[in-house]
């Protein structure tokens, strides 16, 4: 079982969030289409096995909560998920991103 770190932006501007995360981590994220919902999210998977995603905090993306009408962290319009190798180095860099808050660490299947 792995762990995933969850961060949140109170704002809803996914492009501004992407630019801020890219700058902090010195990487480029790619746009990906949502399979269950119209729209996109941003993700990057590095050769070292680290994965970072930025997703809108809307009901279709909160599948593991059980109640799709209930947002996971209601005060946050965007969620940033970090999992894979070296999450500590990512966390250290993400602390510098204005408006980004650490929300929780969660186990994955």
How confident is the model over 19-74, as pLDDT tens digits? 999 999 999 999 998 776 667 899 998 777 789 999 988 755 444 445 555 567 88
Distance from the first to the final alpha carbon of the chain: 6
- Domain total in the chain: 1
Q: What is the rounded CA–CA span in Å between residue 22 and residue 59?
A: 25
Q: What is the rounded CA–CA span in Å between residue 83 and residue 49?
A: 9
pLDDT of amino acid 19:
96
Beta bridge partner(s), residue 9: 78, 100
What DSSP designation does 84 have?
S
| Structural domain harbouring 61 | 14-70+83-107
Q: What is the rounded CA–CA span in Å between residue 104 and residue 47?
A: 25
78 part of a folded domain: no
Are the C-beta atoms of 95 and 67 separated by less than 8 Å? no
């Amino acid at each position: 079982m792995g762990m995933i770190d969850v961060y949140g932006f109170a704002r809803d501007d996914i492009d501004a969030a992407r630019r801020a995360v890219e700058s902090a981590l010195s990487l480029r994220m790619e746009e990906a289409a949502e399979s269950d919902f119209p729209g996109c999210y941003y993700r990057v998977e590095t050769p070292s096995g680290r994965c970072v995603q930025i997703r809108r905090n809307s009901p279709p993306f909160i599948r593991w909560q059980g109640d799709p009408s209930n947002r996971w962290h209601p005060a946050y319009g965007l969620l940033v998920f970090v999992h894979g190798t070296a999450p500590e180095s990512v966390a250290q860099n993400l602390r510098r991103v204005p408006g980004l808050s650490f929300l929780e660490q969660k186990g994955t299947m």
